[in-house]
């Protein structure tokens, strides 16, 4: 029948999370075998069960992407198990505290940079070493509009996502000679659910001039800042990732695609 990712293997990080799982399911339905990576064994086993229903080979790997050696070992195990990694969705991430810079906790800054920048770097480097040998690869990093616009009270997260945009642009140039394309997606406000509620509550608690101290008001303020006047649904992300991994985007690399309602 010829689904677009038949015969391909996709490595998805943060596969136990909202965006990772939704995207893994989409890639599986388009034929890709899946190597699911996450730090949470519970979320991983749920994700594995959900993806296995698609009938493609699925394996789960409990791995902390901030651990360089664990990442290298996991990538080796995946290559041995599947034979190759064709597609990488480098997506695991963490948000940290919402506070203005003069109150920002160093622990949160460090944790966020470790996961979002070092983690993405370790995975990108380990997988691209493998892809360079095969002269084939399609990589999508999850950045954020926070790494484009620089929202208040999110200095760790925003800075880390500016870093992911940088990793994307630079890796795309380094890897272009090897038939490896590297792009990013930048979701903005996604909801409903935990991430949305948390963001709204923490922006309210931050108590700055940019948002109301009432979470319901913050939700309205955020929505009013979006031209399409709504938050995005998680289901509006996987198709963009699939597009960036497919030949439909064959002349695109180093691009950061906003998924932001305008
Ligand atoms: P999520 O919290 O549901 O998923 C993140 C996943 O990453 C979790 O399953 C978590 O266990 C995993 N993870 C965290 N630290 C890890 C580590 N050290 N090693 C391996 N796995 C680790 O959140 P999500 O919304 O699915 O986020 C996915 C990506 O999208 C993140 O990079 C996030 O920054 C980005 N993003 C999300 C939104 C949003 O509103 N949901 C907006 C913009 C960008």
Residues with CB under 6 A from ligand 1: 13-14, 16-20, 38-40, 43, 64-66, 91-94, 115, 119, 142, 144, 187, 190, 195
**Is residue 157 annotated as a catalytic residue, yes or no?**
yes
Q: Are residues 224 and 247 located together in one domain of the fold? A: no
Whether 39 has a pLDDT exceeding 70, the answer reads yes
Q: Is the CB of residue 4 less than 8 Å from the CB of residue 246?
A: yes
Nearest atom in ligand 1 to 22's CA = 26
Q: What is the pLDDT of residues 153-198, one digit of tens each?
A: 999 999 999 999 999 999 999 999 999 999 999 999 999 999 999 9
Q: Distance (Å, rounded) from C-alpha 163 to C-alpha 215?
A: 29
Question: Ligand 1 center to residue 177 CA distance, Å?
Answer: 30
The number of beta carbons lying within 10 Å of the beta carbon of residue 198 is 12
- The DSSP output letter for 31 is T
Per-residue pLDDT band at 1 (split at 50, 70, 90): low
Q: How confident is the model at residue 2 (pLDDT cuts 50, 70, 90)?
A: confident
Question: Quick one: 84 and 183 in the same domain?
Answer: yes
**Alpha-helical segments (H) within the chain:** 18-29, 41-52, 68-82, 106-113, 120-134, 146-149, 155-175, 194-206, 215-224, 238-245
- Same domain as 210, residue 144: no
List C-alpha distances in Å: 226 to 220, 222, 223.
Answer: 10, 7, 5
Query: Sheet containing 256-259: which strands, arranged edge to edge?
Result: 58-62, 33-38, 9-13, 87-90, 137-142, 180-187, 256-259
Q: Whose CA is nearest to atom 2 of ligand 1?
A: 17
Instruction: Kindly report the backbone phi and psi dihedral angles of residue 125, in degrees, each rounded to the nearest multiple of 5, phi listed first.
Output: -65, -50
**3-class state of residue 80 by DSSP:** helix
| 4, part of any domain | no
Q: How many domains does the chain have?
A: 2
Q: What range defines the domain where residue 67 resides?
A: 9-188+234-259
DSSP element (H, E) containing 185 = strand 180-187
Are both 83 and 180 inside the same structural domain? Answer: yes
Residues 212 and 112 in one domain: no
Contact call for residues 12 and 34 (beta carbons, < 8 A): yes
Burial class (CB in 10 A: 0-12, 13-18, 19+), 134: middle
> Considering the domain boundaries, does residue 101 fall inside one?
yes
């Amino acid at each position: 029948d010829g689904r677009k990712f038949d015969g391909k293997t996709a490595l998805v990080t943060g596969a136990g999370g909202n965006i990772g799982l939704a995207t893994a399911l989409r890639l599986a339905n388009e034929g890709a075998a899946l190597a699911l990576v996450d730090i949470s064994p519970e979320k991983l086993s749920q994700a594995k069960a959900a993806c296995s229903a698609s009938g493609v080979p699925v394996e789960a790997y409990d791995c902390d992407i901030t651990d360089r050696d664990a990442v290298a070992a996991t990538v080796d195990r995946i290559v041995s198990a599947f034979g190759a990694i064709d597609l990488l969705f480098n997506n695991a991430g963490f948000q940290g505290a919402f506070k203005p810079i003069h109150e920002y906790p160093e622990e949160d800054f460090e944790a966020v940079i470790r996961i979002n920048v070092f983690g993405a770097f370790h995975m990108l480097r380990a997988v691209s070493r493998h892809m360079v040998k095969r002269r084939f690869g399609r990589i999508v990093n999850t950045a954020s509009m926070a790494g484009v616009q620089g929202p208040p009270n999110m200095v760790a997260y925003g800075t880390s996502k500016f870093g992911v945009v940088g990793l994307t642009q630079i890796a795309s140039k380094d890897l272009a000679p090897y038939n490896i394309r590297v792009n990013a997606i930048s979701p903005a406000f996604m909801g409903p659910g935990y991430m949305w509620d948390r963001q709204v509550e923490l922006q309210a608690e931050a108590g700055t001039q940019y948002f109301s101290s009432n979470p319901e008001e913050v939700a309205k303020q955020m929505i009013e800042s979006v031209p399409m006047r709504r938050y995005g649904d998680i289901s509006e992300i996987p198709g963009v990732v699939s597009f960036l991994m497919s030949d439909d985007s064959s002349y695109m690399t180093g691009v950061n695609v906003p998924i932001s309602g305008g």
